[in-house]
Amino acid sequence: MVFGYSLWLLELNKEADGKLLGVKLGRECIKRNISVAAVAKKFKVSRQTVYNWFSGKVEPNENRHAAIQAYLDQL
């Protein structure tokens, strides 16, 4: 387990469409050991929302895309 990520979430992220912004964010956070709580705080959303992004279940709202892409570029 990486930074408290469950094997379930790791598997969902691995199987999800890598073109989705939320999945990309998840892969980078998992790779860099950035916690779900830290991402939730950064984007002012719930941890459940971040889990949904990471798993590809839900995409971030369009008004967050630029901020998330900037965050990814910074990593």
Long-range CB contact pairs, 48-52, < 8 A, 24+: 51/9, 52/22
Which residue has tokens 């469409």?
17
Task: Provide the pLDDT for residue 4.
Answer: 72
For residues 8 and 16, what is the distance between their CA atoms, to the nearest angstrom? 12
**Tens digits of residue pLDDT in 34-56:** 999 999 999 999 999 999 999 99
Read off the pLDDT band of 2 (50, 70, 90).
Answer: low
Tell me the CATH architecture of domain 7-74: Orthogonal Bundle (1.10)
Q: What is the pLDDT of residues 5-35, one digit of tens each?
A: 889 999 999 999 999 999 999 999 999 999 9
Distance CA 9, CA 64 (A): 22
Q: Are the beta carbons of 23 and 31 closer than 8 angstroms?
A: no
> Which one has a higher pLDDT value, 44 or 2?
44
